[in-house]
Amino acid sequence: MIAADSVLTWSHLAGTHLDIFGSLGLTLGFTAGIMPRRSWMLAGSAACAACFGAHYLTLGALTGTAMCAISVVQSLVSLTCIGAPRRSGWVHPLFAATTLLAAWLTITTWSGAPSACAALGTLLATAARLQAAPQAMRLLFLGASLSWAGHNLLVGSVFGLTCDLLTLLGLGIALWRALPARPVAAPGYLQA
């Protein structure tokens, strides 16, 4: 009976940290950062943002939830339209409109530093989604993940903070793998 009470007490205390959306978002966030193709990175990013939007909603982090909704829209538009012939003309105005919407939502859901971190993360991620090159995307997503780490630390999202740390690791690995190979120096000869 004592073991059952302990498990029940533990699950009650863990409460909001044991949701399926946080778990899925955590997995998808790390996976998106190490994807080799831009399209896979964007699809993973959209799925991750959808999961974390639901997770933040359970935490009452409304700015985070709103920024995740914008991230889903931007990721899907970028996935299907950036670089596509005859469709990319409306992408930049749409991204400008979603950036203005993000600013308005940040103001209307303002909760101090967490809102500022979420807004900065969204701004950097917006710039990342407009990039055609995967490495440029990764660099901007690196800054976005650092900003979101601040948000997640402040709102108490264990899944979000863990995801940010794993995403930073995944982005770092992907950036490092893409560095050009340095030539191996020939061994020097001793001269007398």
pLDDT in tens, 120-130: 999 999 999 88
Q: What is the pTM of this model?
A: 0.76
Q: Which of 46-55, 97-106, 115-124, 174-183 has the lowest mean pLDDT?
A: 174-183
pLDDT of residue 68: 92
**Residues 29-39: pLDDT tens digits?**
878 878 888 88
pLDDT of residue 183: 75
pLDDT of residue 71: 93
Q: Which of 64, 41, 33 is nearest to 157 (CA)?
A: 64
| First and final C-alpha spacing in the chain | 82
- Rounded Cα–Cα distance for residues 144 and 117 (Å): 9
Q: Which of 151, 158, 146 is nearest to 113 (CA)?
A: 151
pLDDT higher at 192 or 166: 166
pLDDT of residue 188: 61
pLDDT higher at 187 or 155: 155
User: Are 45 and 139 in contact, with CB atoms under 8 Å apart?
Assistant: no
pLDDT of residue 37: 86
Q: What are phi and psi of 18, to 5 degrees?
A: -110, 55
Angle at Cα 72 formed by Cα 71 and Cα 77, nearest 5°?
A: 95
Going through 49-189 in order, the beta strands assigned E by DSSP cover none
Rg of the chain over all Cα atoms, to the nearest angstrom: 20
